[in-house]
Structure 1
Amino acid sequence: MNQHIRTIGILGAGAVGSYLVMALSGKFKENLWIIANGERKERLEKNGLNINDESYSLHVKTPSEAHGVDILFVCLKYTQLRDALPDIEAIVDEHTMVVSLLNGVDSEEIISQRIGMEHMIHSLIRIASQRIGNSIHFPIPKGYNGIYIGIPGKQADQDPRIAAIAEIFADTPVTLHLSDDILLDIWDKFGLNVSRNLPQAILGVGIGAYDDSTYVDAIMRQMRHEVVLVANAKGIPLKEEFKAGKWLPSQRYSTLQDLDAHRHTEIDMFSGALVRMGKELGIECPYNEMTYNLIKALEEKNDGKFDYE
């Protein structure tokens, strides 16, 4: 595969895609492509993106026009991923690297079933974002926040593809972490999302509730425990303890932001995926099963299915 990256494709122009646009537009200019079809392509070409109250013009290509891009960042919602597989297949050629920045633990597997695991670079992203009107806002990540990349079972500095990706982000606002145990890092982030993203979404509160309430804290720890059980059964040495980072007590994670905006959430990527894997392994995940049903019910409520007021 090509180890010198000249062209970059971004599939998905939400918070994560916008973060990459903000970071890479100045460096790659016309070689940074947003990939879209139809009305969405026309809208992105006309309106661009508003990021941290700054307007960004975009170079937008269809999947067929983007065929052969050196590296493709998949920044879709989990619910959009399977429908986008034909587009991903149309974009990728024999040398294209694919980085999936979805928050779950199975997007690389889903994509690789269509294009082959040899194209995949495992990754995760840790950023906070907030949509205010038409603008997406997020701070520049520092410390352990940013993008993590790695190759399962391999030292990051042993693969020239990782060095090529590191070169992309050199002299940009992105903090890039080269991981020597990317699967553990991915599952640790997954456990954080499941245990802290979801209980606050059901309760409709900021993350300060985890510090202020022993009951909310207990729910969080049981959710994490079920992730640990499934991860360990898969050979991932995930532990009960975790590092949550520093956020304002009022911070609302993505699932609660989706419910606030009456959007459908990515619960299928979180508790949905964990419950499915648990059943395959013979591991019960009752807290996550209840959470899955509750958030699905909240989506239905937002849709007006049983709004009787």
Structure 2
Amino acid sequence: MTRIAILGAGALGSLYAYELSKVPSNSCFFIADGDRAKRLKKALPTVNGARLRAEVREPNEGSPADLLIVSLKYHHLQEALASALPFVGEQTTIISVMNGVDSEEIIAARFGQDHVVHCVALGMDALRENGKVHYTTCGRLVIGRPEKGRTDVQEDRDIGKIETVCRGSGIGLEVSDDILKSLWWKFMINIGVNQISAITGASYRFFQDRKSPAHALMNDTMKEVVLVAQKKGIGLDETDIAAWYTVLDSLGPDNKTSMLQDVEAGRKTEVEMFAGILLKLGKEVGLDLPINSFILKTILSIEGVAGK
């Protein structure tokens, strides 16, 4: 039995627990402590109308898992990693399905780089409202090592473990020879669609319409990411923006980004991880990024009005 610990029981964490639990050899559980553990033990989210087949374990119930999936909001990461410590042993593999480009670095600083496989979660459209998670597609995971070059699934124990865990679930898996470009590509997408949806209230339908102002604004915002990536030696260019449209068109038109869900629920967003980090990186390479500068101020203002 492969023991899979999931840190974060939001829309994405619930989706992965649901899909991976379909595999008979997988045993999934959520890590939580304090009041959150009590709430989850009382009632886990339902997923597409079905009950989750997963337990909730607190740190004092911890023993090393085979795989740890980190699925948290950025502002919860540092604090929550402490609760995962009892679940990480010498043979534990860790992946982050979080957005952004620096969660692996933060996790590696706590547990060691040898445990961490870089991962990008793509193409899912999970929505959580009132304790219910719904999705039409669970997308795929792109994994790899940060050193460029082909990763051998047979020789890399951690990569092989992830492949085995996902086999038989609905989750697609791809091994990337350039995972850093894949991470930046996802970063670019989130900076475009997540942030613009948070400001405009637009569902995916408006971004799928190539003639809409929301689509144009998404593109312009992503172009600033491409500029920074190229300065950092990451091989993104504007053709990678067009490559996103295939994934975008597969998403439920009326579904919403996670950042828009946060705004509508009055929760704190991840704008510091998106525009905030991009502006910091842009400054390091001497670039002015006016669109993302405006977006950061705007979303922080929205949060301020909501009292977050």
TM-score by structure 1 length? 0.88
Report if the CA contact (8 A) 1:71-1:98 is conserved: yes
Report if the CA contact (8 A) 1:44-1:58 is conserved: no
Equivalences, count: 297
Residue 156 of structure 1 pairs with residue 151 of structure 2 = yes
Residue 271 of structure 1 pairs with residue 275 of structure 2 = yes
Instruction: Tell me the residue number matched to 2:141.
Output: 147
Report if the CA contact (8 A) 1:130-1:138 is conserved: yes
Deviations 1:72-103 (A, max 9, x none): 10011111001123223343222211101101
Instruction: Tell me the residue number matched to 2:46.
Output: 50
Gaps of 5+ in 2: none
Other structure's SS at 2:267 match: coil
Residue 73 of structure 1 pairs with residue 69 of structure 2 = yes
Counterparts in 2 of 1:223 and 1:6: CA distance versus 1, 3 Å: same
Give the letter for the 2:34 counterpart: G
Range 43-52 or range 164-173, more displaced: 43-52
Instruction: Tell me the residue number matched to 1:88.
Output: 84
Identity %: 36
Match 1:226 to one of 205, 224, 227: 224
Counterparts in 2 of 1:21 and 1:215: CA distance versus 1, 3 Å: closer
C-alpha distance in 2 between matches for 1:164 and 1:282: 41
TM-score by structure 2 length? 0.89
C-alpha distance in 1 between matches for 2:140 and 2:25: 22
Range 233-242 or range 186-195, more displaced: 233-242
C-alpha distance in 1 between matches for 2:289 and 2:107: 26
Counterparts in 2 of 1:30 and 1:49: CA distance versus 1, 3 Å: farther
Query: What pairs with 1:1-309 in structure 2 (closer than 5 Å)?
Result: 6-27=2-23, 31-126=27-122, 127-141=124-138, 145-152=139-146, 153-158=148-153, 159-210=156-207, 211=209, 215-241=213-239, 242=241, 243-244=244-245, 245=247, 246=249, 247-303=251-307
Deviation at 1:288, TM superposition (A): 0.6
Give the letter for the 1:168 counterpart: V
C-alpha distance in 2 between matches for 1:182 and 1:112: 16
CA RMSD of aligned residues (A): 2.1
Counterparts in 2 of 1:6 and 1:131: CA distance versus 1, 3 Å: closer
Give the letter for the 1:104 counterpart: G
Gaps of 5+ in 1: none
